[in-house]
Protein backbone atom coordinates (compact mmCIF):
# COMPACT_ATOMS: atom_id res chain seq x y z
CA UNK A 1 0.00 0.00 0.00
CA UNK A 2 1.35 3.44 -0.88
CA UNK A 3 1.65 5.98 1.95
CA UNK A 4 -1.10 8.59 1.95
CA UNK A 5 0.65 10.53 4.70
CA UNK A 6 4.39 10.81 4.98
CA UNK A 7 6.04 12.84 7.73
CA UNK A 8 9.75 13.43 8.20
CA UNK A 9 11.51 15.25 11.03
CA UNK A 10 8.43 17.30 11.75
CA UNK A 11 9.06 20.16 14.18
CA UNK A 12 6.56 22.68 15.48
CA UNK A 13 7.49 25.58 17.71
CA UNK A 14 5.19 28.15 19.22
CA UNK A 15 6.34 31.45 20.52
CA UNK A 16 4.87 32.30 23.89
CA UNK A 17 6.05 35.86 24.31
CA UNK A 18 9.80 35.67 23.69
CA UNK A 19 10.26 32.06 24.71
CA UNK A 20 9.84 29.43 21.99
CA UNK A 21 7.93 26.34 23.10
CA UNK A 22 8.84 23.15 21.26
CA UNK A 23 5.62 21.26 20.85
CA UNK A 24 6.70 18.68 18.26
CA UNK A 25 10.35 17.71 18.43
CA UNK A 26 11.14 15.87 15.21
CA UNK A 27 8.57 13.26 14.31
CA UNK A 28 8.70 10.83 11.40
CA UNK A 29 6.12 8.27 10.33
CA UNK A 30 4.01 7.17 7.39
CA UNK A 31 0.38 6.19 7.18
CA UNK A 32 -0.73 3.85 4.43
CA UNK A 33 -3.83 4.37 2.40
CA UNK A 34 -6.81 2.59 3.94
CA UNK A 35 -5.29 2.27 7.38
CA UNK A 36 -7.12 2.97 10.64
CA UNK A 37 -4.76 4.74 13.01
CA UNK A 38 -5.31 5.98 16.52
CA UNK A 39 -3.14 8.74 17.98
CA UNK A 40 -2.80 8.54 21.72
CA UNK A 41 -1.02 10.49 24.37
CA UNK A 42 -1.57 12.56 27.48
CA UNK A 43 -2.55 16.21 27.18
CA UNK A 44 0.46 18.35 26.29
CA UNK A 45 2.00 15.52 24.30
CA UNK A 46 1.52 17.49 21.08
CA UNK A 47 -1.13 15.24 19.57
CA UNK A 48 -3.57 18.09 18.93
CA UNK A 49 -0.83 20.09 17.25
CA UNK A 50 0.04 17.09 15.11
CA UNK A 51 -3.62 16.71 14.27
CA UNK A 52 -3.84 20.34 13.15
CA UNK A 53 -0.82 19.85 10.90
CA UNK A 54 -2.16 16.59 9.49
CA UNK A 55 -5.44 18.38 8.82
CA UNK A 56 -3.64 21.19 6.95
CA UNK A 57 -4.99 23.68 9.46
CA UNK A 58 -1.47 24.53 10.58
CA UNK A 59 1.97 24.43 9.00
CA UNK A 60 5.08 22.79 10.48
CA UNK A 61 8.00 24.95 11.60
CA UNK A 62 10.36 22.56 9.84
CA UNK A 63 10.31 19.06 8.42
CA UNK A 64 8.29 17.64 5.57
CA UNK A 65 4.63 16.70 5.48
CA UNK A 66 3.53 15.04 2.28
CA UNK A 67 -0.11 14.33 1.69
CA UNK A 68 -0.66 12.21 -1.43
CA UNK A 69 2.96 12.96 -2.38
CA UNK A 70 2.30 16.71 -2.28
CA UNK A 71 4.42 18.64 0.17
CA UNK A 72 2.06 20.80 2.17
CA UNK A 73 4.69 23.10 3.66
CA UNK A 74 4.89 25.50 0.72
CA UNK A 75 1.18 25.99 0.18
CA UNK A 76 -0.65 29.21 0.95
CA UNK A 77 -3.82 29.73 2.93
CA UNK A 78 -6.25 29.18 0.08
CA UNK A 79 -4.37 26.20 -1.33
CA UNK A 80 -4.52 24.56 2.09
CA UNK A 81 -8.25 25.30 2.20
CA UNK A 82 -8.64 23.56 -1.13
CA UNK A 83 -6.78 20.47 0.13
CA UNK A 84 -8.93 20.36 3.27
CA UNK A 85 -11.99 20.69 1.11
CA UNK A 86 -11.10 17.90 -1.34
CA UNK A 87 -9.06 15.40 0.64
CA UNK A 88 -9.82 15.70 4.35
CA UNK A 89 -12.91 15.25 6.47
CA UNK A 90 -13.02 16.55 10.03
CA UNK A 91 -14.87 15.21 13.05
CA UNK A 92 -14.60 17.25 16.24
CA UNK A 93 -15.20 16.49 19.89
CA UNK A 94 -17.82 19.25 20.13
CA UNK A 95 -19.49 18.28 16.81
CA UNK A 96 -19.32 21.89 15.57
CA UNK A 97 -22.63 21.86 13.76
CA UNK A 98 -24.24 25.11 12.65
CA UNK A 99 -27.11 25.94 15.00
CA UNK A 100 -30.55 26.67 13.54
CA UNK A 101 -29.53 24.83 10.41
CA UNK A 102 -31.02 21.50 9.35
CA UNK A 103 -28.96 18.30 9.42
CA UNK A 104 -28.91 18.03 5.64
CA UNK A 105 -27.72 21.64 5.25
CA UNK A 106 -25.01 21.03 7.82
CA UNK A 107 -23.83 18.06 5.80
CA UNK A 108 -23.90 20.11 2.59
CA UNK A 109 -21.50 22.68 4.05
CA UNK A 110 -18.19 21.34 2.59
CA UNK A 111 -19.84 21.09 -0.84
CA UNK A 112 -20.79 24.78 -0.68
CA UNK A 113 -17.17 25.53 -1.41
CA UNK A 114 -17.03 23.33 -4.51
CA UNK A 115 -18.60 23.56 -7.96
CA UNK A 116 -21.22 20.92 -7.10
CA UNK A 117 -24.71 22.04 -8.13
CA UNK A 118 -27.27 22.60 -5.40
CA UNK A 119 -29.31 19.55 -6.48
CA UNK A 120 -26.21 17.33 -6.38
CA UNK A 121 -25.23 18.82 -3.05
CA UNK A 122 -28.58 17.92 -1.59
CA UNK A 123 -28.53 14.38 -3.02
CA UNK A 124 -25.04 13.65 -1.76
CA UNK A 125 -25.83 15.06 1.69
CA UNK A 126 -28.94 12.88 1.92
CA UNK A 127 -26.92 9.83 0.89
CA UNK A 128 -24.30 10.58 3.54
CA UNK A 129 -26.98 11.03 6.21
CA UNK A 130 -28.54 7.69 5.26
CA UNK A 131 -25.12 6.02 5.41
CA UNK A 132 -24.80 7.04 9.08
CA UNK A 133 -28.32 5.84 9.84
CA UNK A 134 -30.15 9.15 10.13
CA UNK A 135 -33.07 8.50 7.78
CA UNK A 136 -35.99 10.65 8.75
CA UNK A 137 -33.91 13.22 10.63
CA UNK A 138 -32.70 15.16 7.59
CA UNK A 139 -34.63 18.32 8.44
CA UNK A 140 -33.95 18.24 12.18
CA UNK A 141 -31.85 21.00 13.64
CA UNK A 142 -28.93 20.12 15.95
CA UNK A 143 -30.89 21.21 19.03
CA UNK A 144 -33.49 18.56 18.18
CA UNK A 145 -30.91 15.75 18.00
CA UNK A 146 -29.15 13.73 20.67
CA UNK A 147 -25.37 13.95 21.11
CA UNK A 148 -24.83 10.68 19.25
CA UNK A 149 -27.06 11.83 16.40
CA UNK A 150 -25.27 15.17 16.24
CA UNK A 151 -21.94 13.39 15.98
CA UNK A 152 -23.34 11.21 13.21
CA UNK A 153 -24.40 14.36 11.32
CA UNK A 154 -20.84 15.57 11.77
CA UNK A 155 -19.49 12.28 10.40
CA UNK A 156 -21.85 12.53 7.43
CA UNK A 157 -20.46 16.03 6.86
CA UNK A 158 -16.88 14.75 7.03
CA UNK A 159 -17.51 12.08 4.37
CA UNK A 160 -19.78 14.01 2.01
CA UNK A 161 -16.92 15.26 -0.16
CA UNK A 162 -15.43 11.73 -0.57
CA UNK A 163 -12.23 12.52 1.32
CA UNK A 164 -9.09 10.38 1.32
CA UNK A 165 -8.70 10.85 5.05
CA UNK A 166 -11.05 11.48 7.93
CA UNK A 167 -9.44 13.12 10.93
CA UNK A 168 -11.37 12.72 14.17
CA UNK A 169 -10.25 14.69 17.20
CA UNK A 170 -11.63 13.02 20.36
CA UNK A 171 -14.82 12.09 18.47
CA UNK A 172 -16.22 10.19 21.47
CA UNK A 173 -15.12 12.67 24.12
CA UNK A 174 -18.60 14.09 24.57
CA UNK A 175 -20.51 10.81 24.18
CA UNK A 176 -21.51 7.94 26.49
CA UNK A 177 -19.94 4.53 25.98
CA UNK A 178 -22.73 3.07 23.88
CA UNK A 179 -22.88 5.94 21.39
CA UNK A 180 -19.08 5.93 21.38
CA UNK A 181 -19.14 2.37 20.08
CA UNK A 182 -21.81 3.34 17.53
CA UNK A 183 -19.56 6.09 16.25
CA UNK A 184 -16.60 3.74 16.07
CA UNK A 185 -18.78 1.24 14.17
CA UNK A 186 -19.48 3.90 11.57
CA UNK A 187 -15.78 4.70 11.35
CA UNK A 188 -14.91 1.02 10.86
CA UNK A 189 -17.54 0.77 8.13
CA UNK A 190 -16.19 3.85 6.36
CA UNK A 191 -12.69 2.44 6.68
CA UNK A 192 -13.43 -1.09 5.53
CA UNK A 193 -16.20 -0.52 2.98
CA UNK A 194 -15.16 2.79 1.46
CA UNK A 195 -11.43 2.48 2.06
CA UNK A 196 -11.15 5.87 3.74
CA UNK A 197 -8.01 6.33 5.81
CA UNK A 198 -9.10 7.00 9.40
CA UNK A 199 -7.04 8.87 11.95
CA UNK A 200 -8.58 9.18 15.40
CA UNK A 201 -7.05 11.16 18.25
CA UNK A 202 -8.14 9.78 21.59
CA UNK A 203 -6.95 9.16 25.10
CA UNK A 204 -9.41 6.28 25.58
CA UNK A 205 -7.72 2.86 25.11
CA UNK A 206 -11.15 1.27 24.41
CA UNK A 207 -11.57 3.57 21.44
CA UNK A 208 -8.01 2.98 20.27
CA UNK A 209 -8.72 -0.73 20.34
CA UNK A 210 -10.86 -0.39 17.20
CA UNK A 211 -7.88 0.88 15.17
CA UNK A 212 -5.38 -1.22 13.24
CA UNK A 213 -2.45 0.80 14.43
CA UNK A 214 -1.75 2.99 17.39
CA UNK A 215 0.76 5.87 17.62
CA UNK A 216 1.64 6.94 21.14
CA UNK A 217 3.06 10.40 21.75
CA UNK A 218 4.74 11.88 24.77
CA UNK A 219 6.47 15.23 25.19
CA UNK A 220 6.37 16.00 21.49
CA UNK A 221 7.91 12.73 20.42
CA UNK A 222 6.62 9.50 18.94
CA UNK A 223 7.11 6.98 21.69
CA UNK A 224 5.41 3.85 20.50
CA UNK A 225 4.16 2.73 17.09
CA UNK A 226 2.23 -0.48 17.53
CA UNK A 227 0.26 -2.51 15.04
CA UNK A 228 -2.87 -4.09 16.44
CA UNK A 229 -3.23 -7.54 14.92
CA UNK A 230 -6.81 -8.12 15.97
CA UNK A 231 -8.70 -4.86 16.39
CA UNK A 232 -12.08 -5.02 18.15
CA UNK A 233 -15.14 -5.13 15.90
CA UNK A 234 -17.50 -2.33 16.97
CA UNK A 235 -20.48 -3.93 15.23
CA UNK A 236 -20.03 -7.12 17.25
CA UNK A 237 -19.51 -5.18 20.47
CA UNK A 238 -22.77 -3.37 19.90
CA UNK A 239 -24.66 -6.65 19.53
CA UNK A 240 -23.25 -7.86 22.83
CA UNK A 241 -24.56 -4.80 24.67
CA UNK A 242 -27.97 -4.99 26.35
CA UNK A 243 -30.86 -3.90 24.08
CA UNK A 244 -30.96 -0.24 23.22
CA UNK A 245 -33.02 2.10 25.37
CA UNK A 246 -35.07 4.69 23.51
CA UNK A 247 -32.73 7.39 22.39
CA UNK A 248 -32.75 10.48 24.48
CA UNK A 249 -33.38 13.70 22.63
CA UNK A 250 -31.68 16.76 23.94
CA UNK A 251 -34.05 19.58 24.84
Partner 1 sequence: MKKIVSSIRIALRALKVNRMRSALTMLGIIIGVAAVIAMVAVGSGATARIQDQIQSIGSNLIIVLPGSISSNGVRLGSGAVVTLSEDDAKAIATECPSVASVAPTVRGGVQVVYGNNNWATTAQGVTPDYMTIRDSTMMLGQFFTDQDVDSAAKVAVLGQTVARNLFGDSDPTSQAIIIKNVPFTVAGVLTPKGQSPSGQDQDDVILLPISTAKQKVLGANKANAKAVGSLMVQAISPQAMDSALQEIEALLRERHRILPGLDADFTIRNLTEVFAAQETSARVMSILLGAIASVSLIVGGIGIMNIMLVSVTERTREIGLRLAVGAKTRDILSQFLVEAVTLSLLGGFIGILVGLASSYLISYFAQWSTVVSPMSIALAFVFSALVGVFFGYYPARKAAYFDPIEALRYE
Cβ distance to partner 1 smaller for residue 77 or 230: 77
Among 57, 116, 174, 209, binds partner 1 (CB under 8 A): 57
Q: How far apart are CA 223 and CA 215, in angstroms?
A: 8
231 binding partner 1? (CB under 8 A) = no
Q: How far is the CB of 40 from partner 1 (least distance, A)?
A: 21
Part in contact with partner 1 (CB under 8 A); list of ranges 11-19, 34-42, 52-60, 122-130: 52-60
Q: How far apart are CA 210 and CA 185, in angstroms?
A: 9
Q: How far apart are CA 213 and CA 20, in angstroms?
A: 32
Q: Beginning with the edge strand found earlier in the chain, give each strand of the sheet holding 70-71 in spatial order.
A: 19-32, 3-16, 62-67, 70-71
Whole-angstrom CA distances from 147 to 52, 66, 191, 249 are 24, 35, 22, 8
Q: How far apart are CA 11 and CA 61, in angstroms?
A: 6
Among 25, 52, 141, 235, binds partner 1 (CB under 8 A): 52
Of the candidates 206, 201, 230, the one whose C-alpha atom is nearest the C-alpha of residue 216 is 201
> Do residues 32 and 4 touch, judged by C-beta distance below 8 A?
yes
14 binding partner 1? (CB under 8 A) = no
Cβ distance to partner 1 smaller for residue 167 or 181: 167
Site for partner 1 in 78-117 (CB under 8 A): 78, 81-82, 84-86, 90, 92, 96, 98, 100, 109-110, 112-114
70 binding partner 1? (CB under 8 A) = no
Interacting residue ranges for partner 1, rule: CB under 8 A: 52, 55, 57-58, 77-78, 81-82, 84-86, 90, 92, 96, 98, 100, 109-110, 112-114, 118, 157, 161
Amino acid sequence: MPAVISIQDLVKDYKVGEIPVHVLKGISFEIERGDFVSIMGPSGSGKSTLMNILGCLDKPTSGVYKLDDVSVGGLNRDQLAEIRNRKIGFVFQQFNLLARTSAVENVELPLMYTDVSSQDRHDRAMKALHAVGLEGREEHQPSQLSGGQQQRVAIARSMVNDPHIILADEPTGALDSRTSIEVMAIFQKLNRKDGITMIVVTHDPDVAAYANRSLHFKDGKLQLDERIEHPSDAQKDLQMLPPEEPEEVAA
